[in-house]
Amino acid sequence: MTTTPADQLARIDTAIAAGVHRLLELQQEGGWWVGELESNVTMAAQHLFWHHFLGLRTPDLDGRIANELLSRMRDDGTWAIWFEGPADLSTTVEAYVALRIVGVDPGDRTREAINALGGIPKARVFTKCFLALFDQWPWQRIPPVPVEFVLLPASAPFSIYNLACWARQTVVPLAGVMALRPLRRIDVDLTDIGARPGQSKPAKAPGPVRRRALAAAEKWIRDRQEADGGWGGIQPPWVWGLLFLACRGHGLDDPQFAKAVEGWRGFLVEDGDRLRPEACQSPVWDTALALLGLRACGVPADHPQVRRAADWLLAEEVTVKGDWAVRRPDLAPGGWAFEFQNDSYPDVDDTAVIALALRDLGVGEAAVQRGLDWVVGMQSANGGWGAFDADNTSEWLYKLPFFDFGAVIDPPSVDVSAHALEALGGLPEYQPAVDRGLAYVLAEQEDDGSWFGRWGVNHVYGTGAALPALEACGVPHDHPAVRRAVAWLDSVQHGSGGFGEDVLSYQDRSWRGRGTPTPSQTAWALLGYVAAGEERSDAARRAADFLITSQRLDGDWDEEHFTGTGFPLDFMIRYHLYRLQFPLLALGRLRERLAR
C-alpha cells in the first residue's frame, strides 16, 4: 500500500496529538516536569550503607531495600550498570554486601560470580571505601587522596578545581573520611568474597596541618550546602558529606546535618514494597525539553500549562556565582542548573536549551541574555564547552590510582557545544564565539561521519545534537560534514526504521549506531535528518513510522534501555521522560518542515 504525503502528515498529526496530551497530563502542579532518573542498584545499596553507619536503619528500610536489590538481580546472580548490560563487579559486590547486612543471602552463584570477576580486591575505590567503613577492607590499602589538597590555591599546579564539579564535591568529604578512618562494624562474614576484616590501621593523630585541612574541608562543604540540604543535587557528595560531618562529631542536633538527612527523603522513589533513591533529579532539564517538544508540536505559547512552565523556569534562574567563577572570576552569573536546588553549579547544557525554549516563547528576554552571556563566558580555549566548568581538561588525573570510578574531569564535548551553538547561532553579538565553537564541532567529527555523545548514548546522540547546531549556525545542507553525517545515519538505521545504540559503543567501535532501536535514539536521528534537509527522505519517513507505530495508545512510548549517560560505561542513566520528550520534538519539527 502506497502512503501519500497527506497520509503521512495525518499519521504524524495523530501521533503528535496523543503525545502532547500525554505530556501535558504529566506536568506537576508547580509547573515543572520531572521523570525518574534511574541508574543502578548501588544507589539502593549505598542508601543502606550510610543509614547503617549513622544508626538510622529500620526493619522497613531493610526490607524494602532488599526487595529492590533482589528485583534487579540478573539471572546469573549478578547486577549490571545498565539494562541488559554485562555483570559489573563493584555493583554486584555492593548489592551482595547490602543484602548480607539485612540478613538475605543472595546465594552461591553470586559469590562465585564475584570471585570469578576478582572479588573485593578488584573492586573500585568507592566500593572499598564503603567496605572500609564497615571494617571489611583496610583503609591503608585504598589509594589515598590527602585531605590537605583542599588547602591548595586554585592557582597551584593541582587543586580541587582541577576536578570536575561532581568529582570535586565528592572527593573533598571522602578525603576527609579517609583521613579519619572511621569504623562501624557489621556482623557479617565477607571473607569468602575477598574481605579483609580487622586489618585497618587507625588514623594517626592529626598534626596542625591536617587539623587545618579537616576544618577547611568542613567549611568548604558547609558553605556549599544547597537549600534542599544536599550538595550539588547529586548523591555522591550528599552521602560522603553526611559521613564526613558525622566523622567530625556532628549529628542530628546539627541543623545542616539534619537538613541533609531530611532533604534526602525527596530523592526516594517509593515503588510498592521496594525503595530506591535517585542519583539526581532532572526537573529543569525535563521542563525545558518538554517545552521544546510542545512548541514544536504546535502548542501555542499562551497555553496555560506552557506559561506555567515558563514562569517556573524563570524563577529557577541562577543569579549567584559558584565554583565556576574560580576560573572565570570576572564573569557575571546567569543560566540554569539541572536540579531543583543547585545554585553552585549551573550548567551550559541546561542554560542553552532553556534559552532556546524561552526565546521561542518570547518571554524572559533579560534572563535569556544573562544566560547566553554566561554560556559565552564559559567557552573553553579550544572553542568547545564543557558542562559545568571551562578548560577542565586535566587528563593526567586518570593516571592516579584513586580515580578509577569514572569521569573526573569535564572537558568540552560535542553535544554540550552543539546545544550552545544552537542557542547562539544567528545572533550577531555572539558571532566570534559561534565561529570558534563551530570550528571545534567540525574538527571533532569522527572518520565515519558521526559525532561522539558524552551525555547521551552515544554517536546517535552526538550526531543528533551536532546537525541542528550546524543548521542554526548557517552551515548549508550540502556541506561535506553534513553529508557525511547523513551517510552515517543511513548506514546504521535499523530495518524497522528505528535507531538504537548500545552502551558498549563507549568501549567498542563496532557497536556505534548498533543496538535495540529505542524511541529516544530514533528521535535523535530524526532530528538530525530534519536539520540536514532530509525531512522528505525515505530514511526520515521510516524513522517517523517507527515512532508512530511503536507509540502506545495513551500517547507515550516504552523504553527500558538506558540512553542517558552520566559517566560513559561507569554510570548510565534511564531518563524516564526521554521516551516522550524527544519523539515529540522530532515529530513536531518534521511536521513543520513537511508542511512548508
- CA torsion, points 199, 203, 205, 210, in degrees to nearest 10? 160
* Cell numbers linked to 199: 586489618
Contact 310, 361 (CB under 8 A): yes
Chain Cα centroid distance, residue 583:
20
* Cell numbers linked to 424: 547562539
H-only helix segments in 425-509 = 431-443, 459-472, 480-492
* Cell numbers linked to 582: 524527544
- Identify the sign of the CA torsion 277, 278, 281, 287: negative
Mean pLDDT over all residues of the chain? 97
Q: What is the pLDDT at residue 291?
A: 98
Nearest to 594 by CA among 526, 546, 547: 526
| Residue 197 three-state SS | coil
Interatomic CA distance for residues 526 and 586, integer angstroms = 6
- Long-range pairs, 535-539, Cβ under 8 A, ≥24: 535/590, 535/593, 535/594, 536/594, 539/489, 539/490, 539/493
CA distances from 373 to 49, 334, 335, 526 (A): 43, 8, 9, 30
Contact 106, 71 (CB under 8 A): no
Q: Average pLDDT in the 303-316 region? A: 98
Q: What is the pLDDT at residue 596?
A: 84
Q: What is the pLDDT at residue 405?
A: 77
Is 105 designated active site?
Answer: no
Residue with cell 526487595: 67
Kindly name the residue from 88, 323, 349, 415 that is annotated as catalytic: 349
Is 141's pLDDT higher than 70?
Answer: yes
Nearest to 187 by CA among 273, 102, 60, 274: 102
Confidence of residue 471 (pLDDT cuts 50, 70, 90): very high
**Overall residue count recorded for the chain in this entry:** 596
Q: Is the model's pTM score more than 0.85? A: yes
CB atoms within 10 A of CB 396: 10
Which domains can be identified in the chain, with CATH numbers? 5-37+281-594 (1.50.10.20), 40-277 (1.50.10.20)
pLDDT tens per residue across span 248-301: 999 999 999 999 999 999 999 999 999 999 999 999 999 999 999 999 999 999
Name the CA radius of gyration of the chain, rounded.
24
Contact 356, 397 (CB under 8 A): no
H-only helix segments in 79-234 = 89-101, 108-116, 125-133, 165-180, 208-223
Confidence of residue 400 (pLDDT cuts 50, 70, 90): confident
pLDDT tens per residue across span 200-232: 999 999 999 999 999 999 999 999 999 999 999
Nearest to 422 by CA among 472, 384, 364: 472
pLDDT tens per residue across span 328-383: 999 999 999 999 999 999 999 999 999 999 999 999 999 999 999 999 999 999 99
Please give the DSSP secondary-structure letter assigned to residue 252.
T
Confidence of residue 406 (pLDDT cuts 50, 70, 90): confident
* Cell numbers linked to 291: 517545552
Q: Which H or E run includes 247? A: helix 235-247
Interatomic CA distance for residues 41 and 54, integer angstroms = 20
